Amino acid sequence: MVELLVVVVIIGLLATLAFGGLQRAVEKGREKEARLMLGTLYQAEEIYYTEHKTYTDDANELDTTSVPNDNSVDHFYKYRVVSADSNGFLLEAIRKTGTDIGKDPLGETAYTVTLDETGRYSVNYP
């Protein structure tokens, strides 16, 4: 009986560890959504710059029809232009949480993914 109890405890521990790894892998996959949409915004900023010789912080001036709006229930991030001027821009994807249409991150907290005019991505945890 003790052996059975030990086996059950070991299986429980292994399942807990495996589930944590699975959660991280799923969240990493969702991060790719942010990178894809930020790449779309990046291209729109570059097109805007070609036409106006400056970048814009007004997302309404960009051709971003493929980027989901904040109320989309099918996507895991909110997207925005943080800042922009003639020298560069910073784009941000903010991970939606449970209060944002039930899209809780599988990790401990929400986070952001950013992309700047040089094409550098970064993931920022609070």
pLDDT tens, position by position, 42-92: 999 999 999 999 999 998 899 887 787 766 766 788 899 999 999 999 999
Query: pTM for the complete prediction?
Result: 0.74
What's the rounded Cα separation, in Å, for the pair 5 and 24?
A: 29
Q: Where are the domains of the chain?
A: 2-124
pLDDT tens, position by position, 11-30: 777 776 666 677 777 778 88
- Cβ atoms of 114 and 92 within 8 Å: the answer is yes
Own/partner long-range contacts of 90-97 (Cβ < 8 Å, ≥24 apart): 90/114, 90/115, 90/116, 90/117, 91/38, 91/41, 91/42, 91/45, 91/115, 91/116, 92/38, 93/34, 93/37, 93/38, 95/34
